[in-house]
Amino acid sequence: MKFKRHMELEHGLKQIDIAPLIDMVFQLLIFFMLTSSFIMQPGIRVNLPKAVTSEVVKDNTLEVLISAENIMYLNGKVATVSELKNTIKGLVKKNPNLLIKADRRASLGRVVEIWDLCRDLGVSQINIATNQE
C-alpha cells in the first residue's frame, strides 16, 4: 500500500475561519460577567482595632462611627456633637445601648469625648467595636 507523502488541504480552504472562535470568546465573557459579583457595598470604611478579648454584641444599639479623619457618623449619617446629643436624649429611654466604631487611626480624645457625652446623658451600656485576632 502506497501512502501520500504530502497531504494537501482542500483547494477552497486557504484560511481558518475565526467566527466560531469569536463567538466562543463572547460566550465565555458573558458567562464570567454574569457569574461574577461586582457589588460595591456602600458605607464608611473603618479599620477597627484588634482585640483578643472581644465579645459579640447582638442587641439593637445606636451606632456612632468615627472615621480616621475624626468625622462622626450617627447611624450612617454625618453628625455633629450637638446633633448626637439631641438624638441620644430622645433615644436613651427606648434604647440605652450604644456602639462606638472608631477607626484605629481616630483620635482617642474624640472617642473619650463621645463616651463622656453618652455617660452624661444616661446611656447605660457603651460598647467599642473591635476585630478579633
Task: Give per-residue pLDDT as tens, 25-83.
Answer: 999 999 988 888 766 656 667 767 777 666 676 666 788 889 888 889 888 888 888 98
How many whole angstroms separate alpha carbon 81 and alpha carbon 72?
8
Torsion angle in degrees (nearest 10) through CA of 105, 109, 114, 120: 160
pLDDT at 25: 95
pLDDT at 132: 73
Q: Is the pLDDT of residue 6 over 70?
A: no
Prediction pTM value: 0.59
How many whole angstroms separate alpha carbon 70 and alpha carbon 132?
23
Q: What burial class does residue 88 get, using C-beta atoms within 10 Å of its C-beta: 0-12 exposed, 13-18 middle, 19+ buried?
A: buried
DSSP 3-state helix, strand, coil percentages of the chain (rounded to 5)? 30, 20, 50
What confidence category does residue 105 fall into, taking pLDDT thresholds of 50, 70 and 90? confident
For residue 20 the three cell numbers come to: 466560531
Where do the domains of the chain lie?
50-132
| Pair type for strands 77-78 and 72-74 | antiparallel
Fold of 50-132: Nucleotidyltransferase; domain 5 (3.30.420)
